């Protein structure tokens, strides 16, 4: 029979790779708690309208990349393409918007986007994200950016740079929008068909187009940063002053606009060198309008998301080695059924004490058991058979070579735990 394969653009993660995933996840959780962020868990699928309203009708994510389905009652849902809209919805739905501010939340989630699979881009992918609600001060932007920087450092990712931009607010956006439309209308011949439509619906999205001719035109387009109002300008200056004060390097990159519609003021990306075309490891910014857009109060917010697979590529590029599988502290080699039962009993008691121990469960010969113990990297091996059980004493062999010539000692079986510490 023909075997079934996983869907295109998804992945199976097995050992030893899974240790890298676990390492990133546990490091992310540790860093998030160091910055005072609580974890939040939300559903894998949501009403489709959440994303069309939250992420934006005109975005690639909503227009082309969403996995949508109808349930048995004919309701429209989507597998989440990102986390921010869900977190904002959950905050509103659970009446948390009036909690003591700021509200700081983090998550590790799988996301789904119908994209062309390639290195660093898949159809199901994992994101670590944080969201901070209730502060319009640049200190909040700084908090999330410094959290990302701290995590990247802890993961050993060195050659990465922070790109920061401001895309303004509803006060200064109209004048910028007008300048942008004027520029692109003059150069409309160079735009792709999608962008010709975008020019009417959402001209900012043209700046984010992946198509070469549009990218080229975008290079000389008017810059948001030249059209900022006083408030946005001060916000940007305060943020960069904080980055300067803490010695966090950054470049002002006027080309960064981000792919989602809800951003205002600060937008930023961490871009890794040498990991190929999908080099944006982390993307984020401020989204002061989202909570209100979703039916909540006017609650300013900012956050970011990083893709785990791109972190892995960057770690590989930086030659980072992560701790792998633990080796057993003890392997018990046994001969005969009575010894096998005793071995299980000892292993059970050791595991209860928090010690990682193994014994034979396959019925291997003594020689094969020793070979297997070696393969697992077991630190010590205890060898038991009928005569050992009778005398209560057995040989404990050191497998690490740490004891030099003296690699074997006779011990009291009942006291084996003491020899493992």
Q: How far is the CB of 173 from ligand ATP (least distance, A)?
A: 19
Q: Do the beta carbons of residue 156 and residue 20 sit within 8 Å?
A: no
- Across-strand partners of 397? 381, 408
C-alpha to C-alpha distance for 129 and 303, rounded to whole angstroms: 7
Residue ranges that bind ligand ATP, judged by CB under 6 A:
82, 113, 115, 120-122, 125, 127, 258-260, 278, 280-283, 305-307, 309-310
Given CA atoms 31, 22, 399, 319 in this order, what sign does their dihedral have?
Answer: negative
Nearer to ligand ATP, 134 or 307 (CB): 307
Least gap, CB of 149 to ligand ATP (angstroms): 15
Burial-class residue 172 by CB neighbours within 10 Å (0-12, 13-18, 19+). buried
| Pick 315 or 339: Cβ nearer ligand ATP | 315
CA 296, CA 162: separation in Å to the nearest integer?
A: 32
Q: Which residue has its beta carbon closest to ligand ATP? A: 307
Judged by beta carbon, residue 85 or residue 343, the one nearer ligand ATP is: 85
CA distance 120 to 317: 13
Shortest spacing between CB 88 and ligand ATP, in angstroms: 15
Minimum gap (Å) between residue 186 Cβ and ligand ATP: 27
DSSP letters for 352-405: HTT--EEE--S---HHHHHHHHHHHT-SEEEEE-HHHHHHTEEEEEESSSTTTT
Nearest approach, Cβ of residue 313 and ligand ATP (Å): 10
> Between residues 270 and 331, which has the closer beta carbon with respect to ligand ATP?
270
Integer Cα distance of 109 and 80 in angstroms: 9
What is d(CA 138, CA 235) in angstroms, rounded to the nearest whole number?
6
Closer residue to ligand ATP, CB minimum distance, 258 or 397:
258
Name the helix (H) or strand (E) containing 1.
none
Handedness of CA 31, 36, 42, 47 (dihedral sign): negative
Nearer of residues 135 and 280 to ligand ATP, judged by Cβ? 280
Smallest distance, ligand ATP to C-beta of residue 68, A: 16
């Amino acid at each position: 029979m023909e075997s079934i394969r996983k869907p295109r653009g998804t992945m199976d993660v097995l050992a030893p790779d899974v240790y890298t995933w676990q390492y990133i996840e546990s490091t992310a959780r540790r860093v998030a708690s160091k910055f005072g962020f609580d974890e939040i868990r939300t559903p894998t699928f949501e009403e489709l309208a959440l994303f069309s309203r939250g992420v934006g009708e005109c975005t690639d994510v909503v227009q082309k990349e969403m996995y949508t389905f109808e349930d048995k009652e004919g309701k429209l849902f989507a597998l989440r393409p990102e986390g921010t809209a869900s977190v904002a919805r959950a905050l509103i739905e659970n009446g948390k918007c009036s909690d003591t501010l700021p509200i700081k939340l983090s998550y590790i989630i799988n996301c789904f986007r119908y994209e062309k699979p390639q290195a660093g881009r898949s159809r199901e992918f994992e994101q670590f994200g944080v969201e901070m609600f209730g502060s319009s001060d640049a200190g909040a932007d700084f908090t999330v950016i410094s959290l990302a920087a701290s995590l990247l450092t802890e993961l050993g990712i060195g050659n990465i740079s922070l790109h920061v931009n401001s895309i303004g607010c509803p006060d200064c956006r109209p004048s910028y929008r007008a300048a942008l439309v004027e520029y692109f209308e003059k150069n409309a011949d160079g735009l792709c068909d999608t962008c010709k439509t975008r020019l009417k619906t959402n001209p900012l999205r043209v700046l984010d187009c992946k198509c070469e001719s549009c990218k080229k035109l975008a290079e000389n387009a008017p810059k948001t940063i030249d059209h900022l109002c006083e408030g946005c300008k001060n916000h940007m200056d305060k943020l960069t002053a904080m980055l300067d004060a803490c010695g966090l390097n950054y470049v002002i990159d006027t080309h960064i606009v981000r792919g989602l519609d809800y951003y205002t003021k600060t937008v930023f990306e961490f871009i890794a060198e040498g990991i190929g075309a999908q080099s944006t490891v982390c993307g984020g910014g401020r989204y002061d309008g989202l909570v209100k857009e979703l039916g909540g109060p006017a609650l300013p917010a900012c956050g970011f998301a990083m893709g785990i697979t791109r972190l892995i590529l960057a770690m590989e590029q930086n030659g980072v080695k992560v701790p792998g599988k633990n080796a057993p502290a003890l392997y018990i080699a046994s001969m005969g059924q009575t010894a096998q039962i005793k071995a299980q009993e000892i292993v059970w008691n050791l595991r209860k004490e928090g010690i990682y121990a193994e014994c034979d469960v396959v019925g291997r010969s003594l020689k094969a058991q020793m070979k297997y113990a070696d393969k697992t990297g077991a630190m010590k091996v205890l060898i038991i058979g009928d005569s050992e059980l009778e005398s209560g004493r057995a040989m404990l062999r050191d497998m690490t070579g740490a004891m030099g010539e003296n690699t074997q000692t006779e011990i009291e079986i009942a006291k084996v735990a003491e020899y493992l510490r």
